[in-house]
Amino acid sequence: MTQVDMVAAEPKEIGSGRRLDRLRRAAGRPDAWRRGLVLAGLAVLLGLLMLLHGLVPNRIGNLGSLVETLLPWFGLFIPVLLAGALWRRSASAVVALLVPVVVWVGLFGGTLGDRSQPGGDLVLAEHNVGAENADPVGTARALAASGADVLALVELGEQARGTYEQGLAQAYPFHTVQGTVGLWSRLPLSDVQPVDTGQDVGPLGDAKSADEKLPDNRALRATVATKHGPLAVYVAHLGSVRVFPRVGFGTRDRDRGVQALGQALAAERNAKVVLLGDLNGSTDDRAFDGLTSRMDSAQDVAGNGFGFSWPAGFPAVRIDHILVSGVQPRSAWTLPATGSDHLPVAARVGW
């Protein structure tokens, strides 16, 4: 460092030292611990909420499910509370913030790292292509170039179905479409059948009118012939969820589909199973316990980051999933945005 650089740097170092000295002196004063007790209490409550989220009841507007769906984002309150604690020069609030920090890191710290492993025998991908997708041709082109061996598409509209069949035909010689869900594969398919997810009710559980009823099947099951043996593949698009001002988080249609899928998977005879789909919810949500207790999330086991998939413009939650049982996830990732409001998700699995 030149003499000029040393002179330029000296004031900054002195200024930083003085600020630290002021903080130390402030922390040593009794009033520093008495100030900001409300902030300290909020910090502790935040930590307890994240730690004990399973105790938040669902009886009132499915509040527990809503909290668990948004659980990672509760960490954003930590810097807000920290700013308030520093502004108030509250030592008690700063110390109390250790509670939510430790809890959040314990819950999600491992998610921030790269958990991928080398190897893998098969690449799986799933995409909600979006019924209002303005560029199905470009979406089909991007998916054909994704490198996936098995590709599941949901929310296939009647008008766009032919576009995807034509755009994916060269890359995937085998495919099936059942209602609004489809499966494309480089490997032979067999035993194709629709799966009844029982989604004939609205988000609040009320019966749908004739024009609101789902016009087509929204789940299927097929067997993919791999070099390691048969792989049972399920594709599903569960019912939408909505937040209603007076009744809360409406999930009954989706939850009914989760239960039906759980029953189908429980009856599955193949030991190697994959579920690809837009499940309209986070696997942190207790509603998915029946699936996650039976299957592993490829993103949670071998992903990189949170892997949020919706909305595509600013992904805030992962509602598109690849769940596996009997095979080992090696890596998981999201693919670049298409014309859909969802991001495609992919995973490499091995035997």
Strands 122-128 and 242-244: unpaired
- Per-residue pLDDT reduced to its tens digit, 262-293: 999 999 999 999 999 999 999 999 999 999 99
In this predicted structure, what is the pLDDT of residue 30?
A: 63
Cα separation, 261 vs 254, whole angstroms: 11
Residue 31: pLDDT band by 50, 70, 90 thresholds?
A: confident
Q: What is the CA radius of gyration of the chain?
A: 25
Q: How many CA atoms lie within 13 A of 342 on its CB side?
A: 24
Q: How many CA atoms lie within 13 A of 69 on its CB side?
A: 21
Report, as an integer, the average pLDDT of 167-171: 97
Strands 122-128 and 150-154: parallel
Residue 10: pLDDT band by 50, 70, 90 thresholds?
A: very low
Q: In sequence order, what are the beta bridge partners of 236?
A: 219, 277
Q: How many CA atoms lie within 13 A of 221 on its CB side?
A: 19
- Per-residue pLDDT reduced to its tens digit, 191-245: 999 999 976 545 544 444 333 444 568 999 999 999 999 999 999 999 999 998 8
In this predicted structure, what is the pLDDT of residue 210?
A: 35
Instruction: Give the C-alpha distances (Å, rounded to integers) separating 212 from 199, 219, 246.
Output: 11, 18, 22
In this predicted structure, what is the pLDDT of residue 290?
A: 93
Indicate the range of 29-43, 47-61, 81-95, 230-244 predicted with least confidence.
29-43
Residue 20: pLDDT band by 50, 70, 90 thresholds?
A: very low
> H helices within the chain, ranges in order?
3-27, 30-34, 37-51, 63-69, 77-88, 91-96, 98-108, 136-144, 158-168, 252-266, 289-292, 298-302
In this predicted structure, what is the pLDDT of residue 9?
A: 47
pLDDT, averaged across the chain: 89
Using the predicted structure, report yes or no on whether residue 15 has a pLDDT greater than 60.
no
- Per-residue pLDDT reduced to its tens digit, 294-335: 999 999 999 999 999 999 999 999 999 999 999 999 999 999
In this predicted structure, what is the pLDDT of residue 192?
A: 97
Cα–Cα nearest to 174, from 223, 247, 214, 229: 223
Residue 141: pLDDT band by 50, 70, 90 thresholds?
A: very high
- Per-residue pLDDT reduced to its tens digit, 172-182: 999 999 999 99
Backbone angles phi, psi at 77, to 5 degrees: -70, -20
By percentage, how much of the chain surpasses pLDDT 70?
86
pTM of the model: 0.87
What are the structure tokens assigned to 68, written together? Answer: 């668990």
